[in-house]
């Protein structure tokens, strides 16, 4: 057992740190849950793409840098500590691994390079108004018509659909079989006729989410990933990747640093024993999460796919994100109350705290609610 970085890993870290220092765009403010505007996000992702680091988790054969698990971990930590936004996960963390595992060479060649370059942006068409936690009950219908599927239905909670070029989408191709078996995985061009995107404003006051209406949208059959009816298997594969990413260790590390610096800027808070102890509690929880995440990465490096244990990471990671934002907001007191109104005389961490606190209520709901994750875990340990 050895938990130290090798000299090679240390010089790798120095290289990343130096690059981030000169390339992360200002302001290097609070990152977690704060929506960056589309131009900033795209410019940052393309910059990483040009460097070859956007798809940093991908193997070299698919256009990634081919880093080890430790290097990927170092990269993400340095990215967050430098105050850079996390890249949008839909193409990179979700569709990418799916295409590598289930896509045809033609699909891989068409989509993966554009994702890795930050040139095409994706969204995820999963939830529907009547299908949230019971995702497999989804009703959006795709009927075969020659060389096309004709898609009709509605998706909801679609993050960044208003930015996206494409949507990967779960659709029902066979209503006659048990619900999990009739689902297929389709890639849909958001410019297709018949797609309408309507905004949903969330309780942080911002627009991240959308409803997506699909009316007689014609999708070429070559956009089917895997076999017809294999969509649920693919969806589960994707979700286990998504949940590992949702632990958010690096960004929580950054947020605790910001909390500490905000507290240090206020004498009354800095000297308060209860404030100090509460930050220590958050830090200790982060250490436990970090080492659990590292153990998962270590197993992944030995060729074991992430399984149900990623549900535990999702639960603890999102609970911690919420707890940090709660502390930021409560320690900020009145300084956290001005709503969407930047002020000069308050610490920026306290100012953004209410938005983060509000935004992050969604974290224990999305990606499979934390209650659904507990169902998954219970099944894994032999219950239910």
Partner 1 sequence: MDFSLSSEQQQLKDSTDKFAIRGYGFSRHQTTLSRPGHLDPSIWAQMADFGWLALPLPEAAGGLGGSGVDFSLVAESLGAGMVLEPFIAGLLLPGKLIAFAGSDVQQQATLPSLAQGDLHLAVAWAEHNTVQDPSHCETVAERNIDGWLLKGRKLCVLNAPNAQQLLVSARTSGETQEEHGISLFMVSTKAHGISLQSYPVMGGGVGANVVLDHVQLPTDALLGRVDEGFSALDAALDYATAAACAQALGAMGQLLDRTVNYLRVRKQFGVAIGSFQALQHRAAEMFIEVEQSRSMVLMAAVRVDSPDTRVRRSSVSAAKAYLCKSAKFVAQQAVQLHGGIGVTEELDVGHYFRQLTAFGTLYGDRGWHLDRYALLSEVD
Contact positions toward partner 1, by CB under 8 A?
A: 1-5, 9, 69-70, 257, 260, 273, 276-277, 279-281, 283-285, 287-289, 291-292, 294-295, 298, 302, 309, 312, 315-316, 371, 373-375, 377-378, 381-384
Q: Please identify, using beta-carbon distances, which residue of 103 and 368 lies nearer to partner 1.
A: 368
Residue 372 CB, shortest distance to partner 1, in Å, is 11
Cβ contact 44:25 at 8 Å? yes
DSSP state of 147: T
Closest to 129 measured CA to CA, from 29, 39, 45, 198: 198
Cβ contact 57:72 at 8 Å? yes
Q: Known catalytic residues?
A: 242
Q: Please identify, using beta-carbon distances, which residue of 186 and 247 lies nearer to partner 1.
A: 247
Residue 223 CB, shortest distance to partner 1, in Å, is 37
3-state SS, residue 208? strand
Residue 13 CB, shortest distance to partner 1, in Å, is 12
Crossing angle of the two packed helices 249-264 and 348-359, in degrees rounded to 10: 140
Rg over CA atoms, the chain: 21
Q: How many residues does the chain have?
A: 384
Closest to 189 measured CA to CA, from 149, 132, 228, 227: 149
Residue 250 CB, shortest distance to partner 1, in Å, is 14
Q: Please identify, using beta-carbon distances, which residue of 3 and 334 lies nearer to partner 1.
A: 3
Q: Please identify, using beta-carbon distances, which residue of 274 and 334 lies nearer to partner 1.
A: 274
Within 10 A of 271 (CB to CB), how many other CB atoms are there? 10
* CA distance to 129, 256, 266, 285, 326, per residue, from 323 (Å): 29, 10, 20, 10, 5
Cα–Cα dist 93/175, whole Å: 30
Closest to 285 measured CA to CA, from 242, 247, 240, 328: 247
Residue 246 CB, shortest distance to partner 1, in Å, is 14
Task: Say if strands 122-125 and 166-172 run parallel, antiparallel, or are unpaired.
Answer: parallel
């Amino acid at each position: 057992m050895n938990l130290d970085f090798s000299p090679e890993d240390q010089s790798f870290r120095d290289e990343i740190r130096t690059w981030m220092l000169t390339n992360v765009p200002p302001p290097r403010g609070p990152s977690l849950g704060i929506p960056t505007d589309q131009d900033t996000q795209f410019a940052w992702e393309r910059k990483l793409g040009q460097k070859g680091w956007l798809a940093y988790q991908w193997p070299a054969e698919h256009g990634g840098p081919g880093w080890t698990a430790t290097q990927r971990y170092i990269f993400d930590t340095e990215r967050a500590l430098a105050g850079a936004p996390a890249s949008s996960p839909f193409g990179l963390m979700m569709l990418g691994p799916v295409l590598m595992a289930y896509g045809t060479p033609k699909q891989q060649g068409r989509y993966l390079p554009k994702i890795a370059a930050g040139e095409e942006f994706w969204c995820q068409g999963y939830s529907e108004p009547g299908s949230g936690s019971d995702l497999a009950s989804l009703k959006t219908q795709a009927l075969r018509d020659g060389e096309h599927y004709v898609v009709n239905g509605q998706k909801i909670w679609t993050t960044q659909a208003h930015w996206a070029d494409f949507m990967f989408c779960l659709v029902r191709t066979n209503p006659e079989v048990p619900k999990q078996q009739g689902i297929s995985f389709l890639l849909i061009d958001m410019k297709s006729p018949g797609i309408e995107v309507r905004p949903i404003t969330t309780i942080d006051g911002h627009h991240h989410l959308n409803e997506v209406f699909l009316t007689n949208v014609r999708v070429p059959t070559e956009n089917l990933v895997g076999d017809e009816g294999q969509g649920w298997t693919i969806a589960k594969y994707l979700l286990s990747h998504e949940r590992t990413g949702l632990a958010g260790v690096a960004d929580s590390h950054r947020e605790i640093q910001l909390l500490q610096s905000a507290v240090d800027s206020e004498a009354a808070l800095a000297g308060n024993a209860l404030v100090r102890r509460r930050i220590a509690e958050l830090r200790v929880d982060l250490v436990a999460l970090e080492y659990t995440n590292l153990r998962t990465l270590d197993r992944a490096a030995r060729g074991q796919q992430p399984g149900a244990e990623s549900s535990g990471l999702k639960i603890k990671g999102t609970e911690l994100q919420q707890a940090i934002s709660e502390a930021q907001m409560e320690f900020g007191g009145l300084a956290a109350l001005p709503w969407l109104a930047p002020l000069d005389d308050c610490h920026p961490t306290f100012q953004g705290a209410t938005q983060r606190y509000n935004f992050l209520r969604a974290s224990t709901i999305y990606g499979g609610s934390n209650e659904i994750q507990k169902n998954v875990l219970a099944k894994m340990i032999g219950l239910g």
